[in-house]
Chain A
Amino acid sequence: MNAQLIQPDVSFIREVRAAGGSDLKKCFQCATCSVVCDLSPDDAPFPRKQMIAAQWGLKDQLLCDPAIWLCHNCGSCTTQCPRGARPGDVMAALRQLAIRNFAFPGFMGRLVANPKALPVLFLVPALVLLAIILWVPKGPATPELEFANLFPVVAVEALFFTVSTLAAIAFLVGVIRYLKALRMCCPGILLNFPPVSAEIVTHERFAQCNTNQGVRWGHFLVLWGFLGLASVGTTIGIGTMAGILRTPLPWGSALKILANVCAAGVLTGAVILIRERTVNQARRAASTYFDWLFLGTLTAVVFTGILLQFFRLAQVAYLMYPVYFVHLVLTLALLLYAPYSKFAHLAYRTVAMASTEPWKPKRKPRRLSEQGAKHCVDFYS
């Protein structure tokens, strides 16, 4: 057999350590992590193998390893790791690095991951919006205070359409890069989409994950609430552009109700997840800038969205307009950076899940007497 030449990627090891996997070198390969993980498949257990691959800087192998996405980050492995090597954190770091690695354009990945760039991240949409306020001509003032008085609807919709398109392109390129890395052809993956979709609908794997059920429902609410909001937003956007709808929508409209329900869902879910990340000591320690950036932005988007609705209702101009501005900055940031932030796991995890078979149940126990005690290679066999 030809020996595989191994050349550790030293900078990758440093990146993993910097991205939250600082204890990775402590792992001594006992595989407690793989066993306590309820999602770890029988024939390709994780995260023990990923730990040693990361220790050895085997970047190419790791970034295309679907296993890093199969982990739902419950933290059991980290809690029970006898060495304090925190495998859960290492897996999270690997996911972050994967997003950064496949990012298009690449600099955006690095920018979003860099805490120092945080002001820039928000300054860019803020400046764009300021420019709209300053330079885009507004329509006639409405009797009631309306957001259109600050930002013309057309301008906002155009802006969001552009940003969404950019994000979609970035996502597409990222996913294609990922698929190339996976060396998988699309049809195979497509076949796996039904079970993946079912999983996304039910969040069944979160239930298997031996974490508390809060995370499952938190994530469920956030995901579905967000998708709901995104659909409503898109519908409204298209509707207004086509002239079918006019904002603000009346209170009783189905879309409005749906939007509020979804917003409430996201907010509830987000609170659950934030609580989980702050109250649970192990999780708090495991939470990185990368995690907080996404969760914080998303929560803030929904929170400001709800808030500004009230302010509009109360017709308080000095609250209503600034909050709207902030809301738009946050929403733009969320969308613009989606392919590079933790948001991107939506795409990568879906593809990863479709590219593998993570749903195999735990195999039935085998008997020593049936298979012989020497079935495993050991030093003296």
Chain B
Amino acid sequence: MTAGKPILVLGGGIAGMTAAIEAAEAGCEVVLIEKAPYLGGRVARTHLYFPKLCPPACGLEVNFKRLRNSSRIKILTQAELVELSGSAGDYAATVKIAPRYVTSACTMCGACADLCPAQRPDEFNYGLSKTKAAYLPFAMAFPDTYVIDRPSCKEACTACADACKYGAVDLSQTERRETLQVAAVVAATGWAPYDAARIDGLGYGRFKNVITNAIMERLAAPNGPTGGKIVRPSDGKAPREVVFVQCAGSRDENHLPYCSTVCCAASLKQAAYVRAQHPDSKVAIFYIDVRTSGRLEDFYASVAADPNIGLIKGKVAKVEEDAATGDLVVRAEDVLHGKQIALHADLVVLATGIVPQTQGLPAGFTVDDYGFVGNGKAGLYPAGCARRPEEVSASVEDATGAALRAFQCVVRSAHHG
């Protein structure tokens, strides 16, 4: 193909990465911007994928390799789009890039972190653990370069710069702006878990042993705050009775008036985590409808076949805590039997849903009543969970399709300009 202007991809999660890689391998120039200091987004924080129970790092490693090998992709992390003007084939995008304070000379030797005296809550682990202020977001992070969280540093501290033998720490870096001429924009700004503290009655934020599915992923992950041990936050003990609460916020006119699509399969998966790690544990999953479309049905059948995993039709409306022990009581109606049910639980996992992230989305994209991004002006294409709640495979498909839409703009602009 004729080289044209690049495609700008907003968001370096699985959707954004996919759009960037697929377009680049087809011959497009791509600029990928990500607000975090690493790529991989929510997927990087996921322990295993359903239904194969395989680690996301496996696919990410391939994608990172493709990124490394592609000379057509420019990656800007800690970057945000601040302005977009123009039209399809001819957009001018201004990008704001926050300082990383570590240059590409970083060898990942870790000396900066070893000598760093300050700590910061690790947002990668939803604040459940801490890192040094000089840190690598996670072991397989890409770009494979340390980051310095300057606001968390002790005042005027230069320990990291002093520690680095390779001159890779540059504390004089400042925010910079870059203006890019691009043919099209793919918005893959992703999602955030619904704030479970807003759901009255389920106790999140009040009861320590009520956690969200997002936190469960971190607890189960070997690179998580507990080194992969699923334990109760209150006392670090292994939970023997775990209850999953489906539709915690989703399918609810008072919260998210849509179905988040992935939570049923996610809870089945997490039930499998619990069972694999604690053989004497028992799990109950409370649901309204089990939604495992397509081939996920096989997975549902295999998880449900475990005699120690019970599925109960009925939405949990109340969780109570025994303050002394931190134990919980989950209340629901067992709809198929028409009885109230009160179950004791050591750990309650709320299956919180998907809230589209549209921060930093340029004008020109449309956002619907539910916060999801629709097609915008010509040359602006949404992809992934910013567009609709969907699982990883659907995000990848979506992003590949969006890449083609953007590619068309590149081709047209190359012909005309």
Contact = CB atoms under 8 A, between A and B. Distances in A.
Interface of A: 28-32, 34-36, 40-45, 48-49, 80-84, 362-369, 372-381
A35 B343 contact: no
B340 A41 contact: yes
28 contacts: A28-B288, A28-B289, A30-B314, A31-B332, A31-B333, A34-B333, A35-B317, A35-B331, A36-B201, A42-B340, A45-B338, A49-B338, A366-B344, A367-B241, A368-B284, A369-B241, A369-B282, A372-B307, A373-B282, A373-B284, A373-B307, A373-B308, A373-B309, A376-B334, A377-B336, A378-B313, A379-B304, A380-B305
B275 to A, nearest CB: 10
A170 B71 CA distance: 90
Interface stretch (B44-52, B250-258, B390-398): B250-258
B310 A373 contact: yes
Contact of A377 (B241, B305, B337): B337
A45 B251 CA distance: 22
B115 interface: no
A48 B336 contact: no
Contacts of B316: 35
Contact of A376 (B241, B252, B336): B336
Contacts of B301: 380
A31 B314 contact: yes
Given A41-B340, A373-B284, A83 B253 contact: yes
Interface string B276-296: 000000111000111000000
B252 A82 contact: yes
Interface magnitude class on chain B: 35 or more
A45 B342 contact: no
A86 B47 CA distance: 40
Contacts of A49: 338
Contacts of A83: 253
B296 to A, nearest CB: 13
B308 A42 contact: no
B344 A80 contact: no
A372 B332 contact: no
Given A365-B329, A376-B334, A30 B343 contact: no
A272 B307 CA distance: 54
Contact of B283 (A32, A80, A373, A381): A373
Nearest to B338: A49
B333 A380 contact: no
B6 to A, nearest CB: 44
B333 A376 contact: no
B311 A82 contact: no
A84 B255 CA distance: 11
A380 B300 contact: yes
A36 B313 CA distance: 16
Given A82-B254, A373-B283, A373-B284, A32 B310 contact: no
B211 interface: no
Contacts of A31: 314-315, 317, 332-333, 335
Nearest to B289: A28
A380 to B, nearest CB: 4
A375 B247 contact: no
Nearest to B313: A378
B222 to A, nearest CB: 27
A378 B338 contact: no
B318 A36 contact: yes
A198 to B, nearest CB: 24
A28 B335 CA distance: 11
A381 B317 CA distance: 25
A60 B362 CA distance: 58
A364 B342 contact: yes
Nearest to A77: B317
B307 A374 contact: yes
B240 interface: yes
B333 A45 contact: yes
A50 to B, nearest CB: 11
Contacts of A376: 310-313, 334, 336-337
A30 B253 contact: no
B304 A366 contact: no
A375 B310 contact: yes
Interface in B167-197: none
Contacts of B415: none
Given A29-B335, A81-B253, A373-B284, 19 more contacts: A28-B288, A30-B315, A31-B314, A31-B335, A35-B314, A35-B315, A35-B316, A43-B340, A48-B335, A80-B317, A365-B329, A368-B345, A373-B283, A373-B307, A376-B310, A377-B336, A379-B311, A380-B300, A380-B304
Contacts of B314: 30-31, 35
B416 interface: no
Nearest to A367: B344
Contact of A44 (B251, B317, B338): B338
A367 B337 CA distance: 18
B310 A378 contact: yes
Contacts of A44: 338
Interface string B343-375: 111000000000000000000000000000000
Contacts of B240: 369
A41 B255 CA distance: 28
Contact of B342 (A29, A34, A82, A363): A363
Nearest to A364: B342
Contacts of A378: 304, 310-313, 336
Nearest to A84: B253
B369 to A, nearest CB: 15
Contacts of A381: 304
A362 B333 contact: no
Contacts of B332: 31, 35
Contacts of A82: 247, 251-255, 315
A82 B241 CA distance: 27
Contacts of A34: 333, 340
Contacts of B305: 380
A137 to B, nearest CB: 65
Nearest to A81: B253
Nearest to B253: A84
A367 B343 contact: yes
5 closest Cβ pairs, A-B complex: A373-B310, A31-B333, A82-B252, A35-B317, A30-B315
Nearest to A363: B342
Among A45, A362, A366, A373, max chain B CB count under 10 A is at A373
Interface in B312-329: 312-318, 329
Nearest to A82: B252
Contacts of A28: 251, 288-289
Nearest to B339: A43
